[in-house]
């Protein structure tokens, strides 16, 4: 995957937030946080350039780029974090003001015909059949009209985190689905299983908020 483009842009958008939260969540001092960020940038670029290019219609490129960024920061920390604190760290680092705005805009478009069509197209693409760092998804609309579910049988984050030696920390990334759905304001996110925790699949259920 080329570094110039989305990966470089995502670093520009989020790296300072990732640095600030090193102090807020893990109590690293400012100099240590700065050094972690400096080392993480090198690791991030190495991870990105080692990944294959995503198909143009694959909506999950941003997911794997975010995973690469978190992985690079974790690998640059003096001490390996536990999954609970990393979950808090990742949510805080990702939920910047621009990201909250993006979530609200996405929430406004949730359940529209365009949104449903996009979900169906993603399910039909089965990108992970050709790119192991992408996702395969099945799409189910709830019969009562209350929303829908994306059911993932292959997960690029699981693949990359395993390769980075960080697989036990993968649930920290999974939890961001709840955070982003809450920020969107239109959905109650529901889930029973994740592949990262040994489930048969990852289910992402989006229920329309009442009232």
Does 190 fall in a domain?
yes
Does 91 fall in a domain?
yes
- Domain of residue 42 covers 6-208
The percentage of the chain sitting over the pLDDT mark of 90, rounded to a whole number, equals 99
Q: Mind listing the pLDDT tens digit for each residue in 154-197? A: 999 999 999 999 999 999 999 999 999 999 999 999 999 999 99
pTM of the model: 0.95
Does 81 fall in a domain?
yes
- What pLDDT, on the 0 to 100 scale, is given for residue 211? 61
Question: What b/e readout covers 177-190, taking b as 16+ CB neighbours within 10 angstroms?
Answer: bbbbbebbebbebe
Q: How many domains does the structure of the chain reveal?
A: 1
For the chain, what is the mean pLDDT? 97
Residue closest to 148 by CA, chosen among 176, 190, 114 = 190
Does 56 fall in a domain?
yes
Cα gap 137→18, rounded to integer Å: 29
DSSP one-letter string for 110-135: TTSHHHHHHHHHHHHH-GGGT-TTS-
Does 200 fall in a domain?
yes
Q: Which residues of the chain have pLDDT under 70?
A: 211
Does 94 fall in a domain?
yes
Does 139 fall in a domain?
yes
Cα gap 36→41, rounded to integer Å: 9
Does 1 fall in a domain?
no
């Amino acid at each position: 995957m080329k570094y110039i483009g989305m990966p470089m842009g995502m670093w520009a958008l989020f790296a300072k937030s990732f640095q600030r939260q090193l102090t807020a969540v893990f109590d690293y001092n400012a100099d240590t946080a700065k050094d972690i960020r400096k080392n993480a940038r090198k690791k991030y670029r190495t991870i990105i350039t080692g990944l294959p290019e995503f198909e143009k219609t694959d909506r999950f490129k941003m997911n794997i780029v975010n995973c690469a960024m978190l992985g690079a920061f974790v690998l640059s920390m003096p001490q390996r974090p536990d999954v609970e604190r990393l979950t808090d760290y990742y949510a805080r680092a990702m939920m910047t003001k621009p990201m909250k705005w993006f979530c609200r805009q996405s929430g406004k478009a949730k359940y529209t015909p365009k949104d449903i069509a996009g979900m169906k197209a993603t399910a039909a693409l089965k990108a992970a059949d050709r790119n192991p760092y992408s996702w395969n998804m099945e799409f189910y609309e709830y019969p009562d009209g209350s929303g829908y579910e994306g059911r993932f049988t292959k997960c690029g984050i699981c693949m990359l985190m395993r390769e980075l030696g960080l697989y036990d920390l993968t649930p920290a990334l999974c939890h961001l689905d709840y955070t982003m759905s809450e920020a969107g304001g239109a959905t109650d996110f529901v889930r029973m299983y994740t592949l990262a925790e040994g489930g048969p699949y990852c289910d992402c259920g989006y229920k329309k908020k009442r009232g």
